[in-house]
Amino acid sequence: MTASHVPAVSEPADKRPITYFGPDFPFAFDDWIKHPAGLGKLPDDKLGSEVAIVGAGAAGMVAAFELMKLGLKPVIYEAARIGGRLRSVPFEGAEGIVAELGGMRFPTCSTAFFHYLDQIGLETTPFPNPLTSASRSTVVDLAGQPLYAEKLEDLPKVFHEVAAAWAEALEHGAQFSAMQAAIRARDVRRIKEIWNRLIPIWDDRTFYGFIATSDAFMRRSFRHLEIFGQVGFGTGGWDTDFPNSMLEILRVVYTNCDEDQRLVTGGVEQMPRRLWKMQPDKMAHWPRGTSLETLHAGAPRPGVVRIAPAAGGRFAITDRWGATREFPAVLVTCQSWLLTTHIEVAEQMFSQKHWMALDRTRYMQSAKTFVMVDRPFWKDKDPKTGRDVMSMTLSDRLTRGTYLFDNGPGKPGVICLSYSWMGDALKLLPLPVEKRVKLMLNALKQVYPNVDIASHIIGDPITVSWESDPNFLGAFKGALPGHYRYNHRMYCHFVQNQLPPQERGIFIAGDDVSWTPGWVEGAVTTGLNAVWGILKHLGGETPKENPGPGDRFEELKPMALPD
C-alpha cells in the first residue's frame, strides 16, 4: 500500500479518491510535501541555526525532519519516548509482536501521513474493523444478544435501517454527497460554500442533537438511536462522542477518516522512529548521512519545564535537569494543557484569547487492554455452527470493542480485549492490569461461553489509560459545542504576521491544534503548517511554484465566527 491515493490530475474528478482535504482549510498538504521544488529556502546566515521542538510525536518528528531538510538544526526535547501517541509496546518474549496503545488504524485518506510511511518503507495491511473482510467475522452483542455476521447484510433488518437513517441524516443535515464530491474534486469554492453555511449552525450543537433531531431517526425508534450509538458503522461505537460538537463528526465522515483503515505492520511507532534515523538524499546545508539522530548524538534532549523570552526575540528553553539553551524559534507539540500544568510558559507569549483556547481544549479519555495469545485460535471453527469460535466483537458490555490481530503463520496472536473511551475508560482508571484483564475476560465469557480465552494467553498483558499519564493528561481532543472559535485560534496561530512581536516565533502543532483530533493526519499537517511558519519567521521563502499553507492562507483560511 502506497501513498498513491493522491489524485492524479488526469483522473476525472468523480473518480478521484476522498482525501483529507479540508473542509476547514482545504490546502493540498500531500502535493506540497512531494513537490520537486521542495518546501523552501532559508537565508544563508540562518542555515545550521538551532530551533527547539518540544515533543517527539508525529507532529514534532515530521516538523523536525522537514526543518532539517531545509538546513536548520532541530533540537528535539522529549519528556518520555519517541513516538508520543504512536506507541507500539512489544510483548515480552516475542519478536515484533506489539500492542498499539495509541493510534492503530490509519485511514487511507491520510495522504500526508502515508507519504512519510512510504518514504521510510513501512508496510500496512487492512485493519480488522467490524464487518470487514479483514476481521473475517464480527459479533454484535447488544442487550445480551450476540449476533454473528460477516458483513452488514448478515445482520437483522433493524441494523440496515440504522445505517440508512445515518446516511439520510448526513445527506439532509449536512449535504454529505455534495461535500464528498467537492472533496474528491478538490473544489475549494464548493467546499467552503457548504461548510461555511454549516459552521454557525452546528458549532453550537452536539452529535447527539444532530442524530436525535434528524427526521431520519425521529421517525424511527429510540432503539435505532441506541443501536447507532452502541455499534455505529465503520469502526464501532459512536455514543462516547455524542456530547462532541457535530462539526467534529462531520469532518471525520466527510473525509472518510472512518473508512478503509490500515494497520502498520510491526507497529506504527516505527514511523517517528524511522524518521529520526532517516538520512534524506536531498538536504540544504547538511552533508549526506545526516539524520535527526546524528544531529542529536543519538538521543533527544530531556523534557522541557520552562519556556521564557530571551534577548533579541529569542526563546530560553530549560529542561528538567536545569540546562537552558536559547533558540530563535520554538515549536510546541505536546498537549496544550501541559503548557499550564507542566511547563512554565511566560504569559506574554500568547494572547489571553489564545490562552483561553489552549486551556479550554477538552480531552477525551481512552483505555486499552491487550493480551498476547499462543495462536489466532479465533479462526478455529465451531463444529456445530461452522462459524469462527470468536470474532471481532462490538458490545454494550465493559469491553466495548474487542479486536483480533493475526500476526501471520507461526506467530502469536494479539487480542485487544477492550478499547473504550470516556466513561467506559474512566471505570478502569484506578484498576491494575490484572483486574482489567479479568473483568474483560468475564465480560467476553458472557458472549462466548464455550471459549476459554484465558487458556491461550501467554506473556504479560499490556494496558494504558492515557489520562493517567502526566505527559498527556488525556487521549486526544474532543471539541465540545461552542469550541469552533478555540479551534480556529489555535489552528490559525501559525500565520503570525498579525501578532504583536512578543507573540511571534513560538509555534504550536499537533493533535490539539488539528481540526480532526484523534487522527494522526491532523497532527502531521499542523506540524507542516509550523514548518512553513518557522521558515517564514527565520526569513525564508517558499518556491513560487510550490506555495505553502501560509502563502495560500488568505484564500483558504477557515471561516472566522464573531466573538
Ligand X SMILES: Cc1cc2nc3c(=O)[nH]c(=O)nc-3n(C[C@H](O)[C@H](O)[C@H](O)COP(=O)(O)OP(=O)(O)OC[C@H]3O[C@@H](n4cnc5c(N)ncnc54)[C@H](O)[C@@H]3O)c2cc1C
Nearest distance from C-beta of residue 544 to ligand X, angstroms: 31
Q: Under 8 Å CB-to-CB from 314, ≥6 apart: which residues?
A: 326, 327, 328, 505
Rounded Cα distance between 466 and 220, Å, is 37
Give me the numbers of helices (H) and strands (E) for the chain, helices first please: 19, 22
**Looking at beta carbons only, is 188 or 334 nearer to ligand X?**
334
**Looking at beta carbons only, is 104 or 246 nearer to ligand X?**
104
**Looking at beta carbons only, is 71 or 236 nearer to ligand X?**
236
User: What value, to the nearest 5°, has the Cα angle with vertex 79 and ends 73 and 82?
Assistant: 65
Burial (0-12, 13-18, 19+ Cβ within 10 Å), 310 = middle
| Helix (H), strand (E) at residue 309 | strand 304-310
Which of 159, 476, 491, 494 binds ligand X (CB under 6 A)? It is 476
Nearest distance from C-beta of residue 429 to ligand X, angstroms: 14
Q: What are the beta bridge partners of residue 301?
A: 77
Nearest distance from C-beta of residue 229 to ligand X, angstroms: 19
| Binding region for ligand X (CB under 6 A) out of 42-50, 91-99, 472-480, 489-497 | 472-480
How far, CA to CA in Å, does 286 sit from each of 43, 49, 56, 289, 445? 15, 12, 21, 8, 58
Nearest distance from C-beta of residue 234 to ligand X, angstroms: 12
54 contributes a contact to ligand X by CB under 6 A: yes
Nearest distance from C-beta of residue 374 to ligand X, angstroms: 26
| Binding region for ligand X (CB under 6 A) out of 284-292, 352-360, 409-417, 468-476 | 468-476
Nearest distance from C-beta of residue 123 to ligand X, angstroms: 17
**Looking at beta carbons only, is 171 or 319 nearer to ligand X?**
319
**SS3 of 366, please?**
strand
Nearest distance from C-beta of residue 519 to ligand X, angstroms: 4
523 contributes a contact to ligand X by CB under 6 A: yes
Rounded Cα distance between 57 and 511, Å, is 10
Which of 363, 466, 486, 532 binds ligand X (CB under 6 A)? It is 466
Which of 236, 303, 412, 505 binds ligand X (CB under 6 A)? It is 303
Nearest distance from C-beta of residue 194 to ligand X, angstroms: 24
**Looking at beta carbons only, is 22 or 300 nearer to ligand X?**
300
**168: nearest Cα among 232, 230, 197, 211:** 211
| Binding region for ligand X (CB under 6 A) out of 73-81, 344-352, 381-389, 552-560 | 73-81
| Binding region for ligand X (CB under 6 A) out of 48-56, 352-360, 482-490, 531-539 | 48-56
Nearest distance from C-beta of residue 82 to ligand X, angstroms: 7
Nearest distance from C-beta of residue 342 to ligand X, angstroms: 5
Q: Output phi, psi for 137, to 5 deg.
A: -145, 160
- CA 309 to mean position of chain CA atoms: 31
**Residues of this chain, 354-373, that bind ligand X according to CB under 6 A:** 366
Which of 214, 291, 333, 487 binds ligand X (CB under 6 A)? It is 333
Which of 342, 436, 483, 536 binds ligand X (CB under 6 A)? It is 342
78 contributes a contact to ligand X by CB under 6 A: yes
Rounded Cα distance between 111 and 139, Å, is 32
Interaction pattern, residues 129-158, with ligand X; x per rule: CB under 6 A: ------------------------------
66 contributes a contact to ligand X by CB under 6 A: no
**Sole residue written with cell 538544526:** 73
Rounded Cα distance between 114 and 103, Å, is 14
**DSSP character for 427?**
T
**Residues of this chain, 398-437, that bind ligand X according to CB under 6 A:** none
Which of 117, 295, 307, 334 binds ligand X (CB under 6 A)? It is 334
**Sole residue written with cell 475508560:** 425
**Sole residue written with cell 465493559:** 398
29 contributes a contact to ligand X by CB under 6 A: no
Which of 191, 247, 475, 530 binds ligand X (CB under 6 A)? It is 475
Burial (0-12, 13-18, 19+ Cβ within 10 Å), 278 = middle
Which of 26, 102, 549, 550 binds ligand X (CB under 6 A)? It is 102
77 contributes a contact to ligand X by CB under 6 A: yes
DSSP characters over 454-511? GGGEEEEEEEEEGGG-TTTSSSEE-PPTT-HHHHHHHHHTT--TTS-GGGSSEEE-ST
Read off the C-alpha cell for 128.
Answer: 480488522
**Residues of this chain, 171-190, that bind ligand X according to CB under 6 A:** none
Nearest distance from C-beta of residue 235 to ligand X, angstroms: 8
| Helix (H), strand (E) at residue 193 | helix 188-202
Phi-psi region of 545 (alpha: psi -120 to 50; beta: other; left: phi over 0): alpha
Residue numbers at the binding site for ligand X (CB under 6 A): 54-60, 77-80, 84-86, 102-106, 303-304, 333-334, 338, 342-343, 366, 466, 471-472, 475-476, 510-511, 518-520, 523
